[in-house]
Amino acid sequence: MKQIFKGVRPLRIAICALMLIFTMGVNLVGGVGYLSEERVSDKMKSAIRDYVSERLQKDPIRINVKAITPILTGKIQSENDLVEVSRGPEGEGGRGLMGRSLFLLSVKQKNGATSDYWVTAEVSVVRKVLVATRPIKRKERIESDALAVLTVYQVRPDELYVESPDALLNKQAQRLILPGAPITLDMVEDSPVMTKGDRVTLFVEAEGIIISATGQVKEDGFLGRQVAVIPKDGNKPVYGTVVSASKVKVAF
């Protein structure tokens, strides 16, 4: 009986030690301590998130990283190992960073040894974007009362979501936009501020003197672009820059 109880205490100590090891996320392999697969994955994901975040033009709500292969179990040996992305996919505005991409991870261990490993990862970005609250017809000017904010996961790099109402100023729908549909830049186009036949004011400004006349536009006019105008007492078009819905500035 004494021998049975004598072996209980060491057994308890061993069990407690094993529980502590598992709690710390460390595996013992051949007498050497390594981080668990879960902790290795976490460090890899953290490095990729930092890399993507630094290269995005606008900060997203969250960056999700999943489906990493391979998991560098045994290559990242401790919490003190420094894991960074030394090379990754690039693209305009960080567009190439989303979706399934290839990253070169650099692992610097506590003893100073550094190793590089290629891994793939699925990266998605959580953003707040603008959606239509009602059907917006083709060629209809987009107004703020037809918009709402929605949280979406962006995984395709070519989805250029509109995040600010300011980006839709003087824009109209290129095609029918359905309610709840996130608005992307390829859904909209510049909206004319004046249409063919409108009466406008032509003016020339030089050395503080402004000379103006009325005319009729021959075509739709867009803010900041050139438009042809037939003066009231003429028959030849005059070209100028649209500065408002009713004014065209002619270069002197």
All domains of the chain in start order, with CATH: 28-125 (no CATH), 127-190 (3.90.1210.10), 199-249 (2.30.30.760)
Q: What is the pTM of this model?
A: 0.56
For residue 163, what pLDDT is reported?
86
Where are the extended beta strands (E) located within the chain?
A: 26-29, 32-35, 62-69, 82-87, 99-108, 114-132, 147-154, 171-173, 188-190, 199-206, 209-217, 226-231, 238-242, 247-249
Give me the mean pLDDT over the 126-145 stretch.
92
Does residue 33 have a pLDDT over 60? no
The predicted-structure confidence for 183-214, as pLDDT tens digits, reads as follows 998 999 998 989 999 999 999 988 788 888 99
For residue 9, what pLDDT is reported?
59
For residue 120, what pLDDT is reported?
94
Of the pLDDT bands very low, low, confident and very high (cuts 50, 70, 90), residue 25 is very low
Whole-number CA gyration radius for the chain: 32
For residue 132, what pLDDT is reported?
94
For residue 157, what pLDDT is reported?
65
